[in-house]
Chain A
């Protein structure tokens, strides 16, 4: 006579079944997406360009915010007279040029979305959450910025305040992402530094 399975056993069997169902499919998807150009080295090459671009865009964006809402304790420089012309020109230009870099970076790394198990520990959960913020703000910020330069506002939220708030979310997500990936970044900084 068979004993009735305990709750724990039932849960174990259920997760095992899900695992059996998903693992081969996700592996197949990743095999199908495998490409000689999807390497860690390429992620680093595009990623550091993106990072440098982002630093300038973030600083010029923060400058634009300060100029528009100056804190009373801060005395702003009024010279050079064309300063804002240059900072904001650079902000819009480099922000627009960011788009192909974001798309290329996503193309190189997106098969990692299909990793299984998706989360292995608390730090890995935080890291994946930061990647979700990174990808969404990385696409949203340049797109709404570009749309704003056409003075087209197909959304109900105020552009400037939203763009500013999301910049902090993006900066935090980038910092966390770089911190997590630092060993890989260092290892692949130079060509041939590591295996893929």
Chain B
């Protein structure tokens, strides 16, 4: 049967294979360089699409959620703060001074955010396993961690026993040799190997053995 021909101008679209592949490669490489600056130090000046500057932040470490955002500016510096460690049989509370009086451990661990950036820190504090033993619990217990934070998605989180047992996991009291800044979780925070930043509970208020 007869079909009507529809006239169209001759294709103006004469992109060559080289143009296609070169421009795609340039796009990929550009995004790669810009994004990699989040983690790879030497290309950091290029990191223009990075959500936050790694160098900015108290104690040389960036902050994702500030004390003000978390609503803890008063609670975090309250001298009456105690860390409550609850086991099925007992409850023990620790002041910051009593935590500092315990044997201190040092861990070099990164804050690795789910959003892709990461930054290394050197933390001092009480190894979580030592704290559990001091409170009469088994060092490999599964834990529920609670922050002073009000209505955050990560106020209450759980920590599998393997992290609690790892000697690198700390209830950190200091960062870079100086007392923890309130933006980094003063009076005490959790830092564990291999966990995303959102689970490195800041402004820790209780550790519950499950």
By a beta-carbon cutoff of 8 Å, the part of chain A in contact with chain B is 20, 23-25, 27-29, 31-37, 39, 42, 45-46, 64, 67-68, 70, 75-85, 88-89, 91-93, 96-97, 99-101, 103-104, 107-108, 148-151, 160
Contacts and interface: CB of A to CB of B under 8 A. Distances in A.
A20 B4 CA distance: 8
Per DSSP, chain A at the interface is: helix
Contacts of B117: 89
B31 A99 contact: yes
Given A36-B17, A45-B21, A92-B38, A81 B11 contact: no
A120 B114 CA distance: 44
A39 B20 CA distance: 11
Given A24-B3, A42-B17, A108-B20, A64 B193 contact: no
B15 A35 contact: yes
Contacts of B171: none
B93 interface: no
B194 A149 contact: no
A110 to B, nearest CB: 12
A91 B116 contact: yes
Nearest to A152: B51
Interface residues of B, number: 54
A40 to B, nearest CB: 12
Contacts of B21: 42, 45-46
B199 interface: yes
A124 B186 CA distance: 60
Nearest to B168: A81
A46 B14 CA distance: 19
B13 interface: yes
B66 to A, nearest CB: 12
A34 B11 contact: yes
Given A67-B194, A84-B112, A84-B196, A76 B16 contact: no
B110 A78 contact: no
Interface in B28-79: 28, 31-32, 35-36, 38-39, 49, 51, 64
B14 A35 contact: yes
Contact of A42 (B1, B7, B20): B20
A149 B115 contact: yes
A25 B89 CA distance: 79
Contacts of B32: 93, 96-97
23 contacts: A28-B6, A31-B8, A31-B11, A34-B13, A35-B13, A35-B15, A37-B15, A37-B17, A67-B194, A76-B163, A77-B162, A78-B166, A82-B112, A82-B193, A82-B194, A84-B194, A88-B112, A88-B196, A93-B35, A96-B35, A97-B32, A100-B27, A151-B51
Contacts of A32: 8-9, 11, 13
B5 interface: yes
Given A88-B114, A89-B112, A150 B51 contact: yes
Contacts of A101: 24, 28
A97 B115 contact: no
- List of 7 A-B pairs having minimum Cβ-Cβ separation, nearest first: A92-B116, A100-B27, A81-B193, A85-B112, A104-B24, A28-B6, A85-B118
B168 to A, nearest CB: 6
